[in-house]
Structure 1
Amino acid sequence: MDNMRERFVSVTSRALDEDPRLALVLAEITMDGFRPSRQRHPERVINVGIREQLLIGVGGGLALTGLRPIMHTFASFLVERPFEQIKLDFGHQGTGGVLVSANASYDWPAGGFTHMAPGDVALLDTLEGWTVHVPGHPDEAEALLRHAYAAGDDKVYVRLSQQSNAAPRPVDGVGLRTVREGGPGAPVVVAVGPLLDNVLAATQGLDVTVLYATTVRPFDDAALRGAVARGTADVVLVEPYLAGTSTAAASEALSEVPHRILGLGVGRSELRRFGTMDEHTAAHGLDPHCLRRRIDAFTRPPARG
């Protein structure tokens, strides 16, 4: 099976052939995969070199001409390094485009902390009007990329990862989908993108409702409210980026319901050993064993004395 980044190349190459409004801006990363597209569409496939601020600036300029720009590099270089350009060239200018990242939070540990971006979604949360897709499988990535490319002049971030669930789920670019339904009053666990399989393994045998999110912004308030029981609600958010990124959004959705929320995700402490992607997942407590312990401890009824 191909990975999400490889699927991005194939889907985008076809989309460039099909839609003359699309333009692709690269900063060296993944350039080899797009050489055939650059030969076919030299005016719409642009490589700016290792200049990430220019990557966003060129994309913003293309948007002002009426094109729909797709801008791509590693997440840390796409969102964090050129954040001012994103804020000004798209937010302030009122233009739209598609940011497509690779390597997510810690997919390439040997790249060091410069190549890790667990805070990307939280950073975009400081800006208005961004849709954020977090696919959990290459097939989902394809569907969400096509959705983003056809989304008029909206501002869209598609967060691709080397991590993947074993099988795809239907996605519509909107909100939460029920994967496992617990009994009346059962706690709700929201699994985001490539962490769904870990969450399902961790909650096997527990009386919980599992919701799956591949579109996290805008947050699906109605689906979360519909999943919790009347009265108090316990909600666990399991996100493949900075822990607690969506706790405020979930709390606002449940503002009229007594609730508790536990936000699980990537910790703030830097892991200074390279290791492997799976070792980083475990170190952040996002493997099935750690998730089981943390979810069970939060949702278990208190013992009576």
Structure 2
Amino acid sequence: MDTMRDRFAPVASRLLDEDPRLAVVLAAIGTDGFTGAARRHPGRVVDVGIREQLLVGAAAGLALTGLRPVVHTFASFLVERPFEQVKLDLGHQDVGAVLVSAAASFDWPAGGYTHMAPGDVALLDTLDGWTVHVPGHPDEAETLLRHAVAAGDDKVYVRLSLQSNGRAMPVDGERFRTVREGRSGVVVTVGPMLDAVLDATEGLDVTVLYATTVRPFDAPALRRATEAAGTDVVLVEPYLAGTSTAAASDALSDAPHRILGLGVGRRELRRYGQPEEHVAAHGLDARSLRERIGSFLGAAVRV
């Protein structure tokens, strides 16, 4: 199966052909995938070199002229390094762009901590007005990228990962999807964590909601799920643990509730190893998730 990032350049290239308003802005990374598109649209495929602050600044400039920029590099270089430009050039100037990341939390451990960005979504949460898509499969990534490009002049972040579920789910760029119903708690699983969560909760009497658009947070879906399953909620996110706990708590502010946020821990793992080892070290493999979810939900009465 191809990866989410494998889909990005072909889909973005087709969108360049279809939409004269679209521009792609790169910072050396990923340029090979746009060779043909750059020949067809030389003014709308821009490579600024290894200059990530300029990457976002140039995108904001293009947006000010009326174009819809799609901006791509590793998450750590797209959100963290040029955060001031994301905050001011896009946010303060009130212009939109589609930021499309790669490498996610720890997709390339050999690159070291400089190429890891488990805090990217939490960092964007400090700003107003961002839509955040976290696909769990290449097909979902393609759908959500098209949603993002078509979203007027909004500010959108599409978080791509090498981690992927075995099959795609229908996604609409807005709502959580119910994939399992139960009566003893709700588990909200984000993007590529779905397969592990379904394995972890097999035989447990819990509702599982699947989220690929996490901002805006689908509060109505969570409230509906808790009406039948109770207000014990577990969030399983492929980035910094607890990133969405405040959003979930706000959704349930009129009812007593408990929330457990699972995700990537804050401690830096300096033996970089392989992505699967990071998943296990952060307790995000199916076995660890079952122990942690079951303990929090009181073993979640079996179906």
Bin for the TM-score computed over the shorter chain: over 0.9
Cα distance in 2 for residues equivalent to 1:24 and 1:301: 49
Cα distance in 1 for residues equivalent to 2:224 and 2:108: 38
Pick the aligned partner of 1:279 from 277, 280, 283: 277
Cα distance in 1 for residues equivalent to 2:229 and 2:8: 43
Cα distance in 2 for residues equivalent to 1:287 and 1:113: 21
Alignment of 1:39-118 (within 5 A): 39-118=39-118
Post-superposition offset of 1:232: 5.3
Q: Are the counterparts in 2 of residues 244 and 263 from structure 1 also a CA contact under 8 Å?
A: yes
The DSSP-based 3-state class of the residue aligned with 2:227 is: coil
Q: TM-score, normalised by structure 1?
A: 0.97
Cα distance in 1 for residues equivalent to 2:7 and 2:53: 25
Please give the root-mean-square deviation of Cα atoms over the aligned residues, in Å.
Answer: 1.1
The DSSP-based 3-state class of the residue aligned with 1:275 is: coil
Post-superposition offset of 1:159: 0.2
Post-superposition offset of 1:274: 1.4
Cα distance in 2 for residues equivalent to 1:271 and 1:231: 36
> Aligned residue for 2:194?
196
Aligned length: 300
The DSSP-based 3-state class of the residue aligned with 1:212 is: strand
Look up the equivalent residue of 1:292 and give its one-letter code. R
> Aligned residue for 1:122?
122
Cα distance in 2 for residues equivalent to 1:239 and 1:15: 30
> Aligned residue for 1:254?
252
> Aligned residue for 1:147?
147
Q: Are the counterparts in 2 of residues 232 and 258 from structure 1 also a CA contact under 8 Å?
A: no
Unpaired segments ≥5 residues, structure 1: none
Pair 301,7 (structure 1): closer, same or farther in 2 beyond 3 Å: closer
Cα distance in 2 for residues equivalent to 1:119 and 1:58: 24
Unpaired segments ≥5 residues, structure 2: none
Q: Are the counterparts in 1 of residues 60 and 95 from structure 2 also a CA contact under 8 Å?
A: yes
Q: Are the counterparts in 1 of residues 186 and 229 from structure 2 also a CA contact under 8 Å?
A: no
Post-superposition offset of 1:231: 9.6
Look up the equivalent residue of 2:121 and give its one-letter code. V
Q: What is the percentage of aligned positions where both structures have the same residue?
A: 74
Deviations 1:90-133 (A, max 9, x none): 11001011000001000000000000000000000000000000
Post-superposition offset of 1:34: 0.8
Post-superposition offset of 1:229: 2.7
Is 1:290 the counterpart of 2:288? The answer is yes
Q: TM-score, normalised by structure 2?
A: 0.98
Q: Are the counterparts in 2 of residues 194 and 240 from structure 1 also a CA contact under 8 Å?
A: yes
The DSSP-based 3-state class of the residue aligned with 2:33 is: helix
The DSSP-based 3-state class of the residue aligned with 1:229 is: helix
Is 1:175 the counterpart of 2:175? The answer is yes
Look up the equivalent residue of 1:64 and give its one-letter code. L
Cα distance in 2 for residues equivalent to 1:269 and 1:42: 44
Is 1:239 the counterpart of 2:237? The answer is yes
Cα distance in 2 for residues equivalent to 1:230 and 1:258: 15
Look up the equivalent residue of 2:240 and give its one-letter code. L
> Aligned residue for 2:298?
300
Q: Are the counterparts in 1 of residues 185 and 229 from structure 2 also a CA contact under 8 Å?
A: no
Q: Following TM superposition, where does structure 1 have runs of at least 4 consecutive aligned residues deviating by more than 2 angstroms?
A: 229-232
Look up the equivalent residue of 2:69 and give its one-letter code. P
> Aligned residue for 1:218?
216
> Aligned residue for 2:37?
37
Q: Are the counterparts in 1 of residues 185 and 230 from structure 2 also a CA contact under 8 Å?
A: no
